[in-house]
Structure 1
């Protein structure tokens, strides 16, 4: 089955109090400024950073738990949660999808009469790899232990415990496991998440003509300043270009096609725009 991300859940992540978003081949978020569209994308950026660096560095690079947890309300939340449903591993299906869940909790340090406000972070992760037929696997990460449980339908067929550093993420650590311990499945999830890119488009820069710079046309910049030349290069692949236009027309039915014009000067520049097909 084609690899697909089916659903995102986020609870107490920045401005996302409690959301569950079904995801299709193309998902469009529409709404006024400040309603949380960008923070939906930041969930994926956060998970990708966890894979590259680990949980604690990913939190610290964003100002710590207090900055990542829900912004709003009279009382700051003590827990944030992220959940994903997907068909990323070899045997997953829509009826038996892969599930990943991360919960981070901020707790006051124990101690009678403690009033200094010091807190500790705790994390819990869960990977569930279901199977309609055959053996599945569930991995739970809590404290300094990862428990791998093999399943056959609703029955447990065996389990093993693996040591893991306190506050380390299973996404960044467990891909090192052997295939028999679930390493292949976790690797598939981590690889998919780390490949996701979040764009913060500078509309003014994206509208300007873009020059061909070495290594600048094959990858779309995060602010889309090279959009025109990136699309120009992409148009050479007819199949990919047709798919892109089909996606674009599903959002902008009035779009006929995208054309390009070379503007002269000391260095050629490419501009793009909607135009009638030739």
Structure 2
């Protein structure tokens, strides 16, 4: 089954006061700085943190309710809501999607200034033509299911901030709804917000079991490339590694080869060295340009054979030559056939490679609230037709589609 997120709904989280963002295989957000694009990533990261650490730690790590809640308007907000629709249970579909919604509420009480409590709702389709739901409110958990195996063995001591996304409830064995809840937890905990730290990526990386996955900051780049290089097909070809090298040579023609070597003076660290046309010896990645390292990081995740269900990339064009962006757009779309990608860009060149369904305009109103999306795909198509087929990137750069300064 193709697990994926179909849409994100956010209310009163930072500048996202009423955001309903559809998510396809590839979604690219454009707009001015501070329009709210990064806050979409932060909302998804928040759900990831809830699944890993629980609601209270997820809030504390972001400065608390007041820092996370929308700070515009005449009064502080009393509720923050983040929800997703998607396909993660066995019989969900676009027509009958699963859903998860978390609300964190703040209210005044006589004995203290404020108290926080959560409301949590899961909806899933674990059997054909069967929808079940799980609701958590205050100390109560309510299951609505016609399936005999869906039974809770008691939740009398449920904390008002406990999350079923983080802490499993006492289900009976083989509960279909419990399995569906675990699937959404696994889905959200695997979200990758990829923001390569070029300085960290340049450095040697330790050889670890986590080398199968490139870290969010690309600090284990050498270890991950070792993994890609080791993968072979039935005929013994290093097909992923050769495809990656071909792409690198296409956008940085003077690179002939990439070598992964033991780091001098250590026995458990690897380094990356570049073999370059016209130069004697090799160039350490530590001495390579910012753009070279960033291109290598991006192309590496596009060739990842085991990508997480959703990868977010901030400013995909940062430090990249415009001609290289065309290839990155092609590889990104190919990678989106295996997993979802949500990215931001400020490059008209990159935007011109997109379709209206992949293109999301982001704007911010005078009251401080974001409008995402500011246009529907049909409205984008109307503008393109009226312009007699001008590229989306040119229309956006001319501010015809909005999302300008």
TM range (shorter): 0.7 to 0.9
| Aligned-pair CA distance for 1:266 | 6.9
Match of 2:258 in 1: 261
Q: Are residues 52 and 225 of structure 1, via their aligned partners in 2, closer, same or farther at CA, if it must alter by over 3 Å?
A: closer
Residues 11-26 of structure 1 correspond to what in structure 2 (within 5 A)?
A: 11-26=11-26
Q: Comparing both chains, which one has the higher relative contact order based on Cα–Cα distances under 8 Å and sequence gaps of 6 or more?
A: 2
* Root-mean-square deviation (Å): 3.7
Match for 1:230 among 221, 224, 229? Answer: 224
Deviations 1:80-123 (A, max 9, x none): 10111111112212211111111111111148xxxx8x011121
Task: Give the TM-score normalised by structure 2.
Answer: 0.54
Instruction: State whether structure 2 residue 199 is matched by structure 1 residue 205.
Output: yes
Match of 1:172 in 2: 166
Match of 1:155 in 2: none
Which protein has the bigger strand share? Answer: 1
Match of 2:277 in 1: none
Task: Give the TM-score normalised by structure 1.
Answer: 0.75
Task: Tell me the distance in 2 between the aligned counterparts of 1:171 and 1:65.
Answer: 19
Match of 2:395 in 1: none
Give aligned pairs, total.
256
Match of 1:150 in 2: 145
Instruction: State whether structure 2 residue 109 is matched by structure 1 residue 125.
Output: no
| Aligned-pair CA distance for 1:78 | 1.2
| Aligned-pair CA distance for 1:198 | 2.4
Unaligned runs of 5+ in 1: 153-157
Q: Which moved more, 1:267-276 or 1:187-196?
A: 267-276
* SS class of match (1:13): coil
Q: Are residues 237 and 21 of structure 1, via their aligned partners in 2, closer, same or farther at CA, if it must alter by over 3 Å?
A: farther
Instruction: State whether structure 2 residue 207 is matched by structure 1 residue 214.
Output: yes
Task: Tell me the distance in 2 between the aligned counterparts of 1:214 and 1:144.
Answer: 45
| Aligned-pair CA distance for 1:229 | 6.0
| Aligned-pair CA distance for 1:133 | 3.8
Question: Does structure 1 conserve the Cα–Cα contact (< 8 Å) formed by 2:90 and 2:126?
Answer: no
Unaligned runs of 5+ in 2: 234-238, 265-270, 274-284, 286-291, 297-323, 328-405
Deviations 1:52-86 (A, max 9, x none): 22212221222211111124334321111011111
Question: Does structure 2 conserve the Cα–Cα contact (< 8 Å) formed by 1:129 and 1:138?
Answer: yes
| Aligned-pair CA distance for 1:40 | 1.4
Q: Which moved more, 1:215-224 or 1:35-44?
A: 215-224
* SS class of match (1:28): strand
Task: Tell me the distance in 2 between the aligned counterparts of 1:180 and 1:265.
Answer: 49
Deviations 1:239-277 (A, max 9, x none): 8949x97xxx9xxxx96999743499974523565899x
* SS class of match (1:173): coil
Question: Does structure 2 conserve the Cα–Cα contact (< 8 Å) formed by 1:147 and 1:162?
Answer: no
Match of 2:132 in 1: 137
Question: Does structure 2 conserve the Cα–Cα contact (< 8 Å) formed by 1:96 and 1:132?
Answer: no
